[in-house]
Amino acid sequence: MHLIRTHRTFSKLKSILLRRHSQAALIDQNEYTETPEYPPILDMSIQGRKLRERETMYEKIKQLNTVEEKQIALNMPRYYGWPCVMLNEDKIPYNAMPLVQCYTRTHFIPTEKLPDSYADTASTADEITKEVKAFIEDALCIESEGVEHNFSLSLEKPEPSQKEDALAKCIVRQINRIISNNLTDKVPHIISTQVDYDPRHEAFWFVGGVDIPDSVLNWRKKQSWYKDRLEENLDRPVQYIGTPFLTLRNKLPLKPIIPYSEAENADFKVPKFSYSPNNVGYFTNFRHGTNMPGYWPGDYDEFGMLSYHGRGHILDRKESFGPEDNLEALHCQAMKASFGWLLAQANYQGFTTYNDLTYPLATQTVITNGQLWSFYAYQLNTIVMHNEQMDENPKHNVCFGTKPMKLYDSIENGKVQGLNEEVLKTLVQFYLNSPEEREHDLKPYLGKEEQVVADIEDDRKRCWLEDRYKHLVANRPKHFLPPETYLWEKIFKIQFNLRFHEKKRRPFELDINPYKRRLNEHLPPYIPKLLRKYPRSKKKFENTYYPDVLNHK
Amino acid sequence: MKLSQVLNRQHIGFMFKKHWIIQGKRVPIDTGVEDYLKAKGIPVEDALEFVKEKPEVHEKVNIVGQYEEPLPLDENHPNYKAKPCYTLRNTNVLLEGISQAQVLTKTIIAEDKLPPKIEELAQVEAPKAIHENVKKAILSANVFDCEQKKLPKIKDPQRPAYNFPRILGITDRRRNQILTNRLLQLIEKSSDTEVTQTKYVVNDVETHTTFDKDEELIQFQDVCNILVTSNKPVKHDTEKDIPFVEIPDLYPVKHTVTLPMEHFYSETSKYPIKPSVSMNHPHTTWLHFNKTEVSNIYETPVTSNQILGRSLTHAFTVASAYAKQLHGEDVKDLPEPVYINCIQTDGQNYHFGVLELNTLDVDGNEGTKNVWYCKNDMKLYGSSRYFSGMPVLENYNPKVYGYINAFYNC
Q: Please write the tens of the pLDDT for every residue from A263-311.
A: 999 999 999 999 999 999 999 999 999 999 999 999 999 999 999 999 9
Is residue A537's pLDDT more than 90?
no
Residue of A nearest to B187 (CA): A181
Residue-wise pLDDT for B172-229, tens only, equals 999 999 999 999 999 999 998 888 999 999 999 999 999 999 889 999 999 999 999 9
Taking a C-beta distance cutoff of 8 angstroms, is the pair B255, B302 a contact?
A: no
Nearest chain B Cα to A132, which residue? Answer: B197
The one-letter amino acid at A542: E
Do the chains contact at B182 and A192, CB–CB below 8 Å?
A: no
Inter-chain touch A456–B140, beta carbons under 8 Å: no
Q: How confident is the model at residue A29 (pLDDT cuts 50, 70, 90)?
A: low
Burial A407-430 (b: 16+ CB within 10 A, else e): bbeebeeeebeebeeebbbbbbbb
How much is the average pLDDT of A406-431? 93
CA distance B282 to B229: 4
CB–CB contact B270 A148 (8 Å): yes
Yes or no: say if B111 and B404 are a contact pair by the CB < 8 Å rule: no
Please, which residues have CB within 8 angstroms of residue A212's CB and are 6 or more apart in sequence? A220, A231, A232, A233, A234
Q: Is A551 exposed, middle or buried (0-12, 13-18, 19+ CB in 10 A)?
A: exposed
Residues A123-178: pLDDT tens digits?
999 999 999 999 999 999 999 888 998 888 888 888 899 999 999 999 999 999 99
Question: Considering its fold, how many domains does chain A have in total?
Answer: 1
Q: Which domain holds residue A389?
A: 82-454
Per-residue DSSP letter, B305: H
Identify which of B12, B144, B272 has the shortest CB distance to residue A295. Answer: B144
Q: Do B144 and A299 touch (CB under 8 A)?
A: yes
For residues A24 and A443, give the distance between their C-alpha atoms in angstroms, rounded to a whole number: 42
Whether residue A15 has pLDDT greater than 70: no
Q: Is residue A249 part of a domain?
A: yes
Chain A residue numbers with beta carbons less than 8 Å from the beta carbon of B190 are: 184, 191
Q: B204: distance to nearest CA of chain A, Å?
A: 8
Cα distance between residue B205 and residue B222, in whole Å:
9
Contact A177 B185 (CB under 8 A): yes
Identify the pLDDT of residue A228: 82
B248/B251 Cα distance (integer angstroms) = 9
Q: What's the confidence (pLDDT) of residue B173?
A: 95
Q: How far apart are CA B269 and CA B221, in angstroms?
A: 9
Helix (H) / strand (E) containing A353: none
Q: Which amino acid is at A447?
A: G
Report pLDDT for B80.
Answer: 93
The pLDDT > 70 percentage for chain A reads 95
Averaged pLDDT score across all residues of chain A? 91
Residue B165 Cα, gap to closest chain A Cα (Å) = 11
Return the number of other C-beta atoms located less than 10 Å from residue A251's C-beta: 15
Q: What is the mean pLDDT of residues A215-232?
A: 87
Mean pLDDT of chain B: 91
d(CA B93, CA B95): 6
Cβ atoms of A252 and A303 within 8 Å: the answer is yes
In a domain, A41, yes or no: no
* Spatial CB neighbours of B54, under 8 Å, sequence gap ≥ 6: none
Helix (H, G, I), strand (E, B) or coil at A197: strand
Comparing CB atoms, the residue among B148, B168, B196 nearest residue A181 is: B196
Q: How far apart are CA B90 and CA B63, in angstroms?
A: 36
Within a 10 A sphere around the Cβ of A88, how many other Cβ atoms?
Answer: 15
Q: Does the pLDDT of residue A233 top 50, yes or no?
A: yes
For chain B, domain boundaries = 86-409
Mean pLDDT of A496-519: 92
pLDDT of residue B13: 87
Residue numbers in B near A454 (CB within 8 A): 389-391
Residue A530 lies in a domain: no
Query: Is pLDDT of A22 > 50?
Result: no
Q: What is the largest CA-CA distance in chain B?
A: 118
Q: Is residue B335 classed exposed, middle or buried when 0-12, 13-18 and 19+ CB atoms within 10 A define those classes?
A: exposed
Residue of chain B whose alpha carbon sits nearest to that of A469 = B389
Residue A145's H or E segment, with its range, is: none
Residues of B in contact with A470 (CB under 8 A): 148, 168
Cβ distance B148 to A474 less than 8 Å, yes or no, reads yes
Q: What is the pLDDT of residue B108?
A: 93
CA B204 – CA B285 distance, rounded (Å) = 10
- Integer Cα distance of B277 and B339 in angstroms: 19
Q: Which residues are registered as beta bridge partners of A292?
A: A202
pLDDT at residue A10 greater than cutoff 50: no
Residue ranges of B 293-312 with Cβ closer than 8 A to chain A: none
Cα–Cα distance, A513 to A83 (Å, whole number): 14
Number of neighbours of residue A22 by Cβ within 10 angstroms: 8
Residue type at position B103:
V
| Crossing angle of helices A67-75 and A322-348, rounded to 10° | 120
Q: What is the pLDDT at residue A27?
A: 54
Task: Name the residue facing A159 among B67, B136, B277 (closest C-beta).
Answer: B67
Contact pairs from chain A to chain B, CB under 8 Å: 127
pLDDT score, position A3: 41
Please list the alpha-helical segments (H only) found in B77-218.
Answer: 98-105, 116-122, 128-139, 172-190, 193-197
What pLDDT was estimated at residue A5?
45
ipTM over 0.85: yes
Work out the pLDDT band at A18, boundaries 50, 70, 90. very low
The answer to whether residues A255 and A303 touch, using CB atoms and an 8 Å cutoff, is no
Scanning B386-405 for CB atoms below 8 A from A yields 386, 388-391
Would you say A238 and A335 are in contact if contact means Cβ atoms under 8 Å apart? no
Average pLDDT over residues B243-259: 91
Question: Are B388 and A459 within 8 A, CB to CB?
Answer: yes
Query: What's the CA gap between A300 and A294, in Å, rounded?
Result: 12
Q: Would you say residue B329 has pLDDT above 60?
A: yes
Is A452's pLDDT higher than 60?
yes
Instruction: Name the residue of chain B whose CA is nearest to A158's CA.
Output: B66
Confidence class of residue A28 from pLDDT cuts 50, 70 and 90? Answer: low
Nearest to B258 by CA among B203, B313, B209: B313
* Stronger pLDDT, A14 or A262, i.e. the higher one: A262
Residue A6 pLDDT grade (very low, low, confident, very high; cuts 50, 70, 90) = very low
pLDDT of A433 reads 93
pLDDT for B262: 93
The reply to whether residue B168 touches residue A197, judged by beta carbons under 8 angstroms, is no
Closest CA in chain A for residue B388: A463
Q: What is the average per-residue pLDDT within A246-269?
A: 93
List Cβ neighbours of B340 (8 Å cut-off, separation of 6 or more). Answer: B234, B282, B283, B284, B285, B315, B318, B319, B322, B354, B355, B357
Neighbours of A55 (CB within 10 A): 11
What percent of chain B has pLDDT above 90? 69
Q: What pLDDT does residue A2 have?
A: 45
DSSP tag of A266: G
Least confident range from A30-34, A91-95, B299-303: namely A30-34
Residue of A nearest to B390 (CA): A454
Whether A181 and B193 lie within 8 Å, measured CB to CB: yes
Examine the pLDDT at B10 and tell me if it is beyond 80: no
**Is A186 inside a domain boundary?**
yes
| Chain A closest-CA separation from residue B365 CA (Å) | 35
